[in-house]
């Protein structure tokens, strides 16, 4: 059985569980246990703190894991990123007090920077030839400058709200991060390898579908060419007859990012009764 390390609670938990559910993986209903098998797929979930996930995969306690790229790089375990998952997006950034004028990276020379990510920060500073003092703290990093513990911080930023409420400003983005699926170079037996391949295949289908919508609409036959010109579709749109001979029904898949532009264009050329549906999986 393929063992997947996932965060037991926290920011990654909900979307990890949603992804696995969308991939058709149902869990045996057991509460508050560390190891939970699936009832319809040869996998079991190992629930851990996110800090421990890279290590669990590197040592073989788990076969694969789902964790933030920031934790993977900080722990520098021997693991491979198998796939970016597109959720829990954030960034690791340098931030300084709001009223301080920032002159560029050299500003950090001789300064004290508080962080929970000393490895990523020291790699970055070394690469940029900046000589700063790294002060490691495990939580509430953003309050460090305010209480005189450091001159700057290096921490996770998403909306930036925490920085603002602590009178800080983001001055350098060092690492964009998101949840990733990790594995190791360790050999997997046939059953595990098959389960992993099937899981990767299903994640691909779920992720492809996430950015697409299925649209269908009624179109007067006289306007069909104009409608088809707006709808490229995956191959070509489906055109079906309707009871009224002068009309037809057109079905297509479109990119979510073009959704409203396409809908307005379709309406303008005469499409009616436009329905937009979510797609759960899409196999190309």
Contact residues: ligand ATP, CB under 6 A: 7, 10-12, 49-51, 68, 70-71, 88-90, 156, 158, 177
Task: Report the residue number, 10 or 273, with the smaller CB distance to Mg ion.
Answer: 10
Which of Mg ion, ligand ATP, none does residue 12 bind to, with CB < 5 to 8 Å depending on kind? ligand ATP
Alpha carbons 117 and 138: distance in angstroms, whole number: 9
Tell me the closest approach of the beta carbon of residue 106 to Mg ion, in angstroms: 32
Residue 163 contact, options ligand ATP, Mg ion, none, Cβ 5-8 Å cut-off depending on partner type = none
Q: Least separation, in Å, of the C-beta of 113 and ligand ATP?
A: 19
Comparison of 53 and 144: residue with beta carbon closer to Mg ion: 53
Helix, strand, or coil here: 252? strand
User: How near is the Cβ of 55 to ligand ATP at its closest, in Å?
Assistant: 12
Partner whose binding site includes residue 158, from ligand ATP, Mg ion, none (CB under 5 to 8 Å by kind) = ligand ATP
Minimum CB separation from ligand ATP for residue 7, in Å? 5
Instruction: Pick what 76 binds: ligand ATP, Mg ion, none; C-beta below 5 to 8 Å, kind-dependent.
Output: none
170 counts as binding Mg ion under rule CB under 5 A: no
Binding mask 28-67 for Mg ion (x = CB under 5 A): ----------------------xx----------------
Q: How far is the CB of 231 from ligand ATP (least distance, A)?
A: 35
Least gap, CB of 91 to ligand ATP (angstroms): 9
Place of tokens 């098998």: 37
Cα(274)–Cα(40) distance, integer angstroms: 37
Please give the full DSSP string across 40-76, using - where no structure is assigned. SSSEEEEEE-GGGHHHHHHHTSSSEEEEEHHHHHHHT
Residue 77 C-alpha from the chain's centroid? 21
């Amino acid at each position: 059985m393929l063992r997947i390390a996932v965060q037991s609670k926290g920011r990654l938990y909900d979307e990890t569980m949603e992804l696995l559910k969308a991939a058709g993986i149902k869990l045996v209903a057991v509460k508050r246990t560390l190891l939970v098998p699936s009832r319809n797929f040869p996998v079991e979930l190992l629930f851990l703190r996110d800090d421990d996930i890279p290590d669990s995969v590197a040592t073989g306690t788990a076969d694969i894991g789902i964790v933030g790229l920031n934790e993977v790089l900080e722990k520098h375990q021997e693991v491979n990123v198998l796939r970016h998952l597109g959720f829990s997006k954030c960034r690791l950034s340098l931030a300084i007090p709001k009223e301080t004028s920032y002159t560029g990276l050299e500003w950090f020379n001789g300064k004290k920077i508080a962080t929970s990510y000393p490895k990523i920060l020291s790699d970055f500073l070394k690469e940029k030839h900046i000589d700063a003092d790294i002060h490691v703290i495990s939580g509430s990093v953003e309050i460090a400058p305010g209480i005189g513990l450091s001159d700057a911080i290096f921490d996770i930023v998403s909306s930036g709200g925490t920085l603002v409420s602590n009178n800080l400003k983001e001055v350098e983005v060092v690492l964009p991060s998101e949840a990733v699926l990790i594995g190791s170079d360790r050999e997997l037996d046939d059953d595990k390898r098959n389960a992993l391949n099937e899981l990767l295949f299903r994640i691909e289908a779920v992720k492809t579908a996430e950015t697409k919508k299925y649209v269908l609409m009624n179109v007067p036959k006289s306007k069909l060419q104009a409608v088809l010109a707006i709808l490229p579709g995956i191959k070509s749109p489906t055109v079906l007859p309707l009871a009224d001979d002068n009309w037809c029904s057109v079905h297509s898949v479109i990119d979510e990012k073009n959704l409203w532009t396409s809908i307005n264009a379709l309406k303008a050329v005469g499409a009616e009764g436009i329905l937009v549906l979510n797609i759960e999986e899409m196999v190309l």
